[in-house]
Amino acid sequence: MLVIVCPGQGSQSPGFLQPWLELPGFHDRLGWLSAVAGIDLVTHGTTSDEDTIKDTAIAQPLIVASGLLSLLALFEHPADGFRRVGAGAGHSVGEITAAAAAGVMTAEQAMVFVRERGRTMAEASAVRPTGMSAVLGGDPDEVTAALTQHGLTPANINGAGQVVAAGTLEQLDALRSAPPAKARVIPLKVAGAFHTEHMAPAVDTLAGYARSISTHDPRVPLVSNADGQVVHDSRDVLRRLVSQVRNPVRWDLCMETFVSMGVTGLIEIPPAGTLTGLAKRGLPGVETLAVKTPDDLEAAHRMVREHGAPRTAMDPSWRLVISPAKGVVSFDRSGEGDVVEPGSVVAQVATLRDQYDVLAGHGGRVIEWLVEDGDPVAPGQPLLRLHPQGV
């Protein structure tokens, strides 16, 4: 099984997009996404210095745009992106890249959303000087105690012996001066305490934008960095994208999910390197590839062929239960997450003369009801969405 992972902020470096501009169409597409975001991503991806691209309002759109465009070259045949990828995931802002790549939103919607995410998080960061530092090694309990002692938040629990602490610059300086035993503290190239309560002002603004985005359920399973769960519902994906701004990233749980899914190959898209490094330590036996330049595409195509398993029509992300007739629907509502057995009656549709049972032919877990009890319905109208068990 193949998983595609999308990195987050701090993975960017000056000039990292320069070699990609040599690919046919890449410059024009990056120019288009620049117009959508209102940011000159061509300049920032090629000639801007480290301090410039460290700016949250620039870094986040730059990372998402680079990921979306490089994905177009990752597969020898475009349809392979949906047919052969077993799962997708993103770290922090990389979840927007993963969501758009899976078809939850368009590239243009993703660029507007990440532009506002970067802007509002930059504004929240400006209220008080904050930042993040990676804590490498050390006893996990001692690391947690040290962060608590200094009033810091474990904003990213990345597994493989890495925790990212977030808080004020004074708190981070204190941690660096007195690190936990056998641990190293390394400042990160970010301009705020992301995934903490310092980012709370950004959440309400993003929630408003999210309500205006039309979505589609992901065409490949998405592993959420909130809890490592596989998410199949597009609105749930969007809700998680909003709330993750101030909640910790649990990349350790994502890697645990990769193991349980049977992942054998992991490809990280540009600006690649960080997540591949974690996977090398946390996913022994899994082949990894950091796609940093177009020179890595040949190896990526090989991995897609060797690790990608075609998804078939018998392996859906969800199924619909539909109305058998025109009439009025009635049901004892099953809640989200409830399991419906194959062949069970989930509702009735009453006409002027008859009453029809609505059967869940394949069964599954309830994702959402699409109608209310007592609604008039038409033949073939979707009533209930189920996630097949075992998928």
Q: Which residues are catalytic?
A: 92, 195
Q: Which helix (H) or strand (E) holds 116?
A: helix 107-126
8 Å CB contact between 88 and 102: yes
Residue 28: other Cβ atoms inside 10 A: 9
Q: What string of DSSP letters covers 56-69? A: HHHHHHHHHHHHHH
Torsion of CA 212, 213, 216, 219, to 10 degrees: -150
Task: Report cis status (omega within 30 of 0) of the bond before 78.
Answer: no
From 55, 15, 61, select the one nearest 41 (Cα to Cα): 61
From 364, 359, 363, 327, select the one nearest 346 (Cα to Cα): 359
Half-sphere exposure of 71 (CA within 13 A, CB side): 27
